[in-house]
Structure 1
């Protein structure tokens, strides 16, 4: 089922991340040293996230840290996360969704969070575009049937976006372990106090003598 993007491009809570536990996922996007993660547990976390594993990417943004609260799905089975400058609060958003991007279609595809503002495309390389619209800009790279986008408002300079776009890559197991939310166990059924101990379990709606 097609789902709407679950997180807005700008997350108000990220403005206070320095006080609520923004975490560094690693020096090159999220892979700390240590033993290999448990694969079964990792697959549980992947299923809970509902993003296709091949679309989960990480990057390294100089001066920015991954906000683990922002990690989540995008669209049908895509992926998104936000990196935040600490201090300062500027945000760089990484979004990976299925699709195609070409010189012909680039001007018609909206820039992240820029609404219907006119898009200007500047091609860099065979499958990478620098795109601007309104107060937003992004690098978009087409590869293997999906588009990797690195976007920000213009308080983040183009060189920083380019560096982050060049560093963006599919997460390996260690990086997945560093960035994926923990899987939440299935909650037990809620007990109702109005069910009789015998019979078919229908609610007990008997009326008292005064009713």
Structure 2
């Protein structure tokens, strides 16, 4: 399956994953990254490489643990939802590169057939196509993408999410995992 179709499929599944969700909260503590063995175990459970596991912090949004895991050929995905309402931000991480030369040629989410515009914003790329926009943040051979509906998520909010991209600390890693047997993990 091509990367374009995988991204389209992943984005089309986000609304299904988020339907009827409770109020699970992620805690952004700003602490040191999770222990490498702990991160490796979680990544293995999700079917992804540990270096692809990223989180973000954005005011008014929490990660939805049931959305966290692999998509496509081992890329990482997580959905963040508004604490109030149904607005979502998708976080996707894969081994790719994004440059001025290939930015516009890489499709963007559900609007994969629409022309993509690119604008460098610091170390990140701000990309738009049709009704969606994203910040793509290069990190050590990985591109972390924060994507959302332009009408529902302001560019400032998306930029805040992009600036806060990091590997999870232990508390954040625990928040990525859904509660088991009715108890928090």
Q: Above 0.5 in TM-score?
A: yes
Aligned length, in residue pairs:
172
Partner residue of 2:92?
Answer: 95
Shift of residue 113 of structure 1? 2.3
Partner residue of 1:54?
Answer: 51
TM-score normalised by the chain length of structure 2: 0.80
Greater Rg, structure 1 or structure 2? 1
Which consecutive residues of structure 2, in runs of 5 or more, have no partner in the other structure? 181-185
Q: Deviations over 1:122-152 (max 9, x none)?
A: 1112x31110000000001122211111110
TM-score normalised by the chain length of structure 1: 0.71
Query: Is 2:173 aligned against 1:176?
Result: yes
Partner residue of 2:183?
Answer: none
**How many Å separate the matches in 2 of 1:27 and 1:47?**
23
Does 43-52 or 82-91 show the bigger shift?
43-52
Does 133-142 or 165-174 show the bigger shift?
165-174
Shift of residue 76 of structure 1? 2.3
| Contact 2:58–2:157 (8 Å) recurs in 1 | yes
Query: Is 2:26 aligned against 1:25?
Result: yes
Aligned CA distance change for structure 1 residues 79 and 86 (closer, same or farther; 3 Å) = same
| Contact 2:91–2:146 (8 Å) recurs in 1 | yes
More relative contact order in 1 or in 2 (CA 8 Å, sep 6+)? 2
5 Å-filtered alignment, 1:64-83, equals: 64-83=61-80
Which consecutive residues of structure 1, in runs of 5 or more, have no partner in the other structure? 184-211
5 Å-filtered alignment, 1:139-158, equals: 139-154=135-150, 155-158=152-155
Shift of residue 65 of structure 1? 1.3
Partner residue of 2:117?
Answer: 120
5 Å-filtered alignment, 1:97-112, equals: 97-112=94-109
Shift of residue 178 of structure 1? 2.5
**How many Å separate the matches in 1 of 2:161 and 2:169?**
17
Aligned-partner SS, 1:8: helix
RMSD of aligned alpha carbons: 2.9
